[in-house]
Structure 1
């Protein structure tokens, strides 16, 4: 696969490990590797001459990422947006509610 035919992926930006909400989750355009990684004989580190694999472009919407890819003639695939479980709001007062069926665990 040559460098010009590398397919880019448009995906929903993952949340950081310290993030519980949905803020700062936009869309990313990530290039797939165009050449295999190999070990450097001198240092033993893995690497390749493909610098596009290191590039991640961020966009606020999926449509903006698709428009950028079309404008620059970049073939792309769109990954489905991950489904998040609905979070039931809780309050600290629930721990002390009268008639609570389950035991207070902490």
Structure 2
């Protein structure tokens, strides 16, 4: 069974990166989801992919855990974040391209 080791992106409902600093080991689904004939919910017979998610503080800990337990994994490094440095005073700069108005 293949697993993914990745660092999740931040939640859209938060401004900080509280739980996005941890690394996650998550199993790939081995069975496709299908609708339940009685209730119509989507179900799968594979519980590992939908219910097991392990978190680690560092990438090395997650890789060591996967190696120690014989889990084949795919390591996904996060894309570098592009920081846009802005200052509030730039809104009122003399050389601004578009004039600032209310």
TM-score normalised by the shorter chain: which range applies? 0.7 to 0.9
Report the Cα distance in structure 2 between the residues aligned to 1:23 and 1:105, rounded to whole angstroms. Answer: 36
Partner residue of 2:80?
83
**Matching residue within 4, 8, 13 for 1:13:** 8
Which 10-residue stretch deviates more, 60-69 or 36-45?
36-45
Q: Does 1:53 align with 2:49?
A: yes
CA shift for structure 1 position 37: 1.7
Report the Cα distance in structure 2 between the residues aligned to 1:58 and 1:86, rounded to whole angstroms. Answer: 26
CA shift for structure 1 position 58: 1.3
CA shift for structure 1 position 24: 3.1
Secondary structure in structure 2 of the residue aligned to 1:77: strand
Structure 2, unpaired ranges of 5+:
none
Q: Does 1:95 align with 2:91?
A: yes
Please tell me the root mean square deviation across aligned C-alpha atoms, in Å.
1.9
What TM-score, normalized by structure 1, do the two folds share? 0.79
What TM-score, normalized by structure 2, do the two folds share? 0.81
CA shift for structure 1 position 16: 0.3
Give the 3 Å change call, closer, same or farther, for CA 101–36 of structure 1 in structure 2. closer
CA shift for structure 1 position 23: 4.3
